[in-house]
Amino acid sequence: MLYALTVRDGKPGQQVPVLLSGTRGSRGGKKLKSTSKYIYQTLFLNGENSDIRICALGQEWNLHKVYLCQSGYFSSMFSGSWKESSMMEINLEIPDQNIDAEALQVVFGSLYRDDVLIKPSRVISILAAACMLQLVGIHEKPPCCLLECKIKQ
Radius of gyration of the chain (CA): 20
User: Could you give the CA distance from residue 145 to residue 150 in angstroms, rounded to a whole number?
Assistant: 9
* Cα(22)–Cα(4) distance, integer angstroms: 6
8 A C-beta contact, residue 79 and residue 66 = no
Average pLDDT, the chain: 78
Q: Is residue 11 part of a domain?
A: no
Per-residue pLDDT of 60-93, as tens digits, reads 999 999 999 999 999 999 987 878 778 899 999 9
Q: Is residue 126 part of a domain?
A: yes
**Residue 19 maps to a domain:** no
Instruction: Give the pLDDT confidence of 31-48 residue by residue, as tens digits.
Output: 667 888 999 999 999 999
Q: What is the pTM of this model?
A: 0.70
102: in domain = yes
Residue 15 falls inside a structural domain: no
14 is a domain residue: no
Q: Is the pLDDT of residue 100 over 90?
A: yes
Q: Is 88 helix (H, G, I), strand (E, B) or coil?
A: coil
The domain total for the chain is: 1
Helix (H) or strand (E) holding 62: strand 59-63
Give the pairing type, strands 89-91 and 52-56: parallel
Give bridge partners of residue 6 from the DSSP assignment.
19
Residue 28 has what pLDDT?
54
Residue of 134 and 145 predicted with greater confidence: 134
- CATH of residue 121's domain is 3.30.710.10
**Does 8 fall in a domain?**
no
Residue 77 lies in a domain: yes
Q: Which domain holds residue 86?
A: 33-151
- Tell me what the mean pLDDT of segment 4-8 comes to: 43
pLDDT at residue number 130 = 93
